[in-house]
Amino acid sequence: MCYRQTTTVLATSDVVDFLYTCDNHLTDPGFATPLASETPKPQISAEEIARVKKEYEEKQQAKKEKVKEKEKEKEKTDEDWKDEKALKPKVSTPSPSTPATPPAVPLPRFVLHRQIYQMRCDEHRKRRQAKQVREVAPKLPIAPRDKLQ
């Protein structure tokens, strides 16, 4: 806003619009006001994660056992199928492992003053209209340049 060098950026939740601003502007109530801090979501405990992983692995193991049983039945019924299976190499799927990332620190949230917000909306509207004019202008007919008789 004030053309000072800064690393602070205000952005919409879907990051359609962003605005570089200095820290002084963030403390100005005529520019932006901080939102009340939201209550943090309850953290999932390590025990719950371990329990869910164990249940998932048990389900995957049961699925693998069912597949093996079906393969045995197919091998018994058709010897040709058995020969084809022997030629194909078996591919083992590695177990998915997700690295534990530390929880991100929530960024402070601000609400722009309504006049500042309206100024930003007007600027975007003008850009959109100018783009539309540039697209439509070549399609319009040319005004006559001859003299009327």
Q: For residues 132-147, give the mean pLDDT.
A: 89
* pTM, full prediction: 0.45
- Each residue's pLDDT tens digit, 49-60: 899 999 999 999
Question: How much is the pLDDT for 100?
Answer: 62
Determine whether 25 is exposed, middle or buried from the number of CB atoms within 10 Å of its CB (0-12, 13-18, 19+): buried
Question: How much is the pLDDT for 54?
Answer: 94
Distance CA 33, CA 85 (A): 67
Domain definitions of the chain by residue range: 1-35+109-127, 46-87
- Each residue's pLDDT tens digit, 86-136: 666 555 555 555 656 666 778 888 888 889 889 989 999 999 999 999 999
- Each residue's pLDDT tens digit, 11-39: 888 888 888 888 888 888 888 888 876 65
Question: Is the predicted pLDDT of residue 80 greater than 80, yes or no?
Answer: no
Question: How much is the pLDDT for 113?
Answer: 87
